[in-house]
Amino acid sequence: MSRPAPRFALPHLSDEAVAAFADNVLRDGARYRAQQHIGECAECRSAVADQRQARSLLRSAPLPALPGDLLERLRTVPVSAPLPSGPPVVSALSADGQPLFAAFGTGRDTGPAPSSAASPAVSAPASTVPGAPPADRSWAHRHHLPTLGLGVVAAATVMVGALATTAPTAGGGAPAPASPGPVQQRTASPGESDLQAVFQPVVDLTGRR
């Protein structure tokens, strides 16, 4: 600041306070004091205005738009992403504490069905040979990482299901089917891809490299 505030007047706002006041996040006494000071101090008033101006300039710019082919690559991450070492089961918890499992499979059946071609809805891995990298320039491919080949399945699906079990199974084998918890089935509508939510107690990976 170019000159000190007059004695007995409120001190100049710190940089932190200027930003916080500009963003309307100061409360109670701090806010009151800042307001009082700004009423009397043009410098701090300008500093606050500058902060708000920078914010609105930034927000005035057009938003970057997601490239279309990237969306497709993201949708096929489950079949093209490099697998971490360790058990293939990926788990999470639903809002009410139910364990969830993400797995690959056929969706409607209890196990993979042999088929002559991968689902057309899965666009990235054009190759159906297990372990072969996807034909497109996926991120994983460009970085020379091994990927999960889809193998030969009827439909590529990712299932995120709620189970009644309380803990994920240790090890990599498929667990015994548990009694179904809050089970729902949702089949894909004609416009959707074959990626669908199916609740299944069996965790299964097909075509693992």
Partner 1 sequence: MTDAIVARETGAAWAAPTWDDVVRQHADRVYRLAYRLSGNRADAEDLTQETFVRVFRSLSDYTPGTFEGWLHRITTNLFLDMVRRRARIRFDALPEDAAERLAASGPGPEQRYAENHLDPEIQDALDALPADFRAAVVLCDLEELSYEEIAATLGIKVGTVRSRIHRGRVLLREALAHRAPGVRPVEAGSTSAEDGA
Residues contributing to the site for partner 1 (CB under 8 A): 2-3, 15-16, 18-20, 23, 25, 42-43, 46, 50-51, 53-55, 57-67, 70-71, 73-75, 77-78, 81-84, 90-96, 100, 102, 138-140, 158, 160-162, 168, 182, 184, 186, 192-193, 195-197, 199
Q: How far is the CB of 135 from partner 1 (least distance, A)?
A: 16
How far apart are the C-alpha atoms of 135 and 103, rounded to whole Å? Answer: 23
Closer by beta carbon to partner 1, 60 or else 116: 60
Q: How far is the CB of 164 from partner 1 (least distance, A)?
A: 14
Nearest residue to 51 (alpha-carbon basis) of 63, 32, 34: 34
Q: Kindly report the CA angle at 83 between 207 and 71, in degrees rounded to 5?
A: 90
Closer by beta carbon to partner 1, 50 or else 208: 50
Q: How far is the CB of 47 from partner 1 (least distance, A)?
A: 9
How far apart are the C-alpha atoms of 99 and 163, rounded to whole Å? Answer: 6
Q: At what angle do helices 15-22 and 42-60 cross, to 10 degrees?
A: 60
Q: How far is the CB of 40 from partner 1 (least distance, A)?
A: 9
For residues 201, 203, 206, 208, the Cα torsion angle rounded to the nearest 10 degrees is: 180
- Provide the residue type at 46 as one letter: S
Closer by beta carbon to partner 1, 53 or else 114: 53
